[in-house]
Structure 1
Amino acid sequence: MSSALAQTLIVMPAFNEEDAVAGVVAEVRAALRGVHVLVVNDGSRDDTVGEARRAGAAVVDLPFNLGVGGAMRTGFKYARAHGFRYVVQVDSDGQHDPAGVPKILDALQTHDVAIGARFAGEGDYTVRGPRKWAMKVLAVVIGRIAGTRLTDTTSGFRGAGPRAIEIFAEHYPAEYLGDTIESLVLAARAGCTIQQVPVTMRERAGGTPSHAPVKAAVYLGRAAIALVIALWRPPLTLQPEAGTTP
């Protein structure tokens, strides 16, 4: 695993996360010796950049807010340009436990995309109401598209191997829920293989949630629109990595 970590870029999208980002960077670097950490500052108005740099992360400072999808596409471009074999997204708010990264990297030895799933038998993370049912429906539909059983298609704790990095660097979706739902449909329809692994999620260490609780009632409708957009777009053709099998 140490050799895989040396080839891994941890990408942390960050928007106004000065309260948490330094601690998360420090925790990742301590838990995953030899891994490289990139914070993509997504147009923050606070001192996210300074906190990330002081904690030892490389930083790409976007001049305005693109959303998680735009920030992650920047991260994939960076990984491709610098020769990284694996990319793992770790949120800068502290929800993602870096102890789950080795599981994701293990899955990437045989699959193109690996999802750290909250509802796969580990931890006690729960959701309720319309959001819960929306997530169940999405998991069934996208699981069928991907040809595998999925339980958590909206998890942002996920990794990409060489073939997925190549396609995500150019086509990673930036729309609402595109970084989760649409990216999985995009990858599956391009021929990427997907696997989920159980992980533990935690409460935010700081910052502001991206979705207020009052918006939960419209989550299903928005998720359905995101799925329709993903299916409406023509599938991409992904060339196999030279000298390897997916």
Structure 2
Amino acid sequence: MGRETENRVLVLVPAWNEHKSVGATVREILLADPDYDVLVVDDGSSDATPDLARDAGALVMSLPFNLGVGGAMRAGFTYAQRMGYRRAIQVDADGQHNPADIERVLQGLNDADISIGARFADVGDYTVRGPRRWAMVVLARVVSGVAKTRLTDVTSGFRAAGPRAIDQYVRYYPAEYLGDTLDSLVAACHAGLTVTQVPVAMRPRRHGSPSQGPIGSTIYLLRSCFALTLALMRPSPTKKRDEPAHSDGGGAS
């Protein structure tokens, strides 16, 4: 199975109660390239998310209860590692990530272990204001120093992983708020992995809307700073590039 998958791309779609958008997202991914393998990680949904994902053509991994994006992604990367994939990319189920940009983000893996689809890199008209924007600017500057390269959008979930990054994420992928983006990225950099970013344009959610009011933005600022502080305080993991990764993640169903 590893020989069959090592040259293929696994598209990981974490989804929790996304029945209104997951089917359209999966179909759009397969329309962008029918050769993509799509794995929807159903994070304990109580609606028809898994059924609609299967109907759209995705393989579904159903978790027994809600773990959060970080837990879902670690389970997805564990599947990628066990099945022999050497490239995996996260695409959110809500439709904000444009599947037409998947190949663009994957091309960043030619030069780095992790490639980020960046919202603030002179492409598109995605805008954020107030405390939320301040937090993103500060986070980007601090993590750029850790990564030793200029990054503008370190909280983007539109990220591709090469083989070393897949192994790293199986070893460590936090589940707490913002840990799935910030903490996992800082830990990867501490482990010696390289990061690059590719400009992409984000789209509005198909259904629902994130909290953008003053209170929500202020909470985001405080939580993001707290998450980054925890990430920077964690001891750097020992680099064991020649040893196989051992996982304790989930399995597919």
Distance in structure 1 (CA, Å) of the matches to 2:211 and 2:193: 29
Report how far residue 121 of structure 1 moved: 0.9
Provide the C-alpha distance between the structure 2 equivalents of 1:36 and 1:60, rounded to a whole number of angstroms: 13
For 1:140-179, what per-residue CA distance to the aligned partner results, in whole angstroms no more than 9, with x for missing partners?
A: 0000010000100110101111001001012111111001
State how far apart, in whole Å, the 2-side matches of 1:220 and 1:138 are: 10
Q: Which amino acid aligns with 1:138?
A: L
Q: Is contact 1:42-1:71 (8 Å) kept? A: yes
| Matching residue of 2:99 | 98
- Contact persistence 1:4–1:105 (CA under 8 A): no
Shift of the alpha carbon at 1:212? 6.3
Deviations 1:169-208 (A, max 9, x none): 12111111001111110111110000000001001112x4
Partner of 1:143: 144
AA aligned opposite 1:102:
E
1:110 equivalent in structure 2: 111
Contact map agreement 2:6 2:85 (CA 8 A) in 1: no
Distance in 2 separating the partners of 1:34 and 1:133: 40
Q: Within 5 A, what are the aligned runs for 1:23-38?
A: 23-38=24-39
Greater mean alpha carbon deviation, residues 189-198 or residues 229-238: 229-238
SS at match of 1:24: helix
Cα distance change on mapping 1:74 and 1:204 into 2, 3 Å: same
Distance (whole Å) between structure 2 residues aligned to residue 191 and residue 93 of structure 1: 32
Secondary structure at the aligned position of 1:185 is classed as helix
What does residue 179 of structure 1 align with? 180
Q: Which amino acid aligns with 1:63?
A: P
Q: Measure how far apart 1:211 and its partner are.
A: 4.7
CA contact (8 A) 1:112 1:192 kept: yes
Quote the offset at 1:4 in angstroms: 9.7
2:161 corresponding residue in structure 1: 160
- 2: distance between equivalents of 1:57 and 1:149? 35
Distance 2:221 2:104 in 1: 30
Aligned partner letter, 1:236 = P
TM-score (norm 1): 0.92
- 1:220-235 aligned at under 5 Å gives the runs 220-235=221-236
CA gap 1:60/1:212 in 2 versus in 1, 3 angstroms: farther
- Offset of 1:63 from its aligned partner? 1.3
Give the Å deviation of 1:6: 4.7
SS in structure 2 opposite 1:151?
coil
Q: CA deviation at 1:239?
A: 3.8
Q: For residues 6 and 163 of structure 1, what CA distance do their matches in structure 2 show?
A: 15
Say whether residues 1:76 and 2:77 are aligned partners. yes
Partner Cα distance (1:119, 1:212) in 2: 17
The match for 1:11 is: 12
Q: Does 1:169 align with 2:174?
A: no
* Structure 1 match to 2:205: 204
Q: In angstroms, what is the RMSD of aligned CA positions?
A: 1.8
* 2:60 paired residue number: 59
- The secondary structure found in structure 2 opposite 1:108 is helix
1:157 is aligned with what amino acid? Answer: F
C-alpha separation in 2, matches of 1:162 and 1:26: 26
Residue 215 of structure 1: aligned partner:
216
Residue 114 of structure 1, CA deviation: 0.6
